[in-house]
Amino acid sequence: MVSKSCKYAIRATVFIASKAKENIKVGVKEIAEEIEAPEAFTGKILQTLNKNKIVTSLKGPYGGFYSDEAQLDLPILEVVNAIDGLGVFTDCVFGLHQCSDDHPCPMHFEYVKTRSQMYTSFKNTTIRSLAENLNTGLAFLKNPE
Partner DNA sequence: TTCACAAAAGATAAATCTATCTTTTAAGTA
Partner DNA sequence: TACTTAAAAGATAGATTTATCTTTTGTGAA
Kindly list the residues in this chain that would bind a second copy in the complex (CB under 8 A).
1-2, 4, 7-8, 10-11, 14, 76, 88, 91, 93-98, 103-108, 110-111, 113-114, 117-118, 121, 125, 130-131, 133-134, 138-144
Q: How far apart are CA 60 and CA 8, in angstroms?
A: 24
Binding residue (CB under 7 A) for DNA from 10, 17, 35, 46? 46
Residue 71 carries which DSSP code? H
36 near DNA, judged by CB under 7 A: no
Give the three-class secondary structure for 64: strand
Quote the DSSP letter at residue 66. Answer: E
Separation between Cα atoms, residue 81 and residue 51, nearest integer Å: 12
Report the interface residues with DNA, using CB under 7 A. 3-5, 8, 26-29, 37-41, 43-44, 46-47, 50-51, 57-65
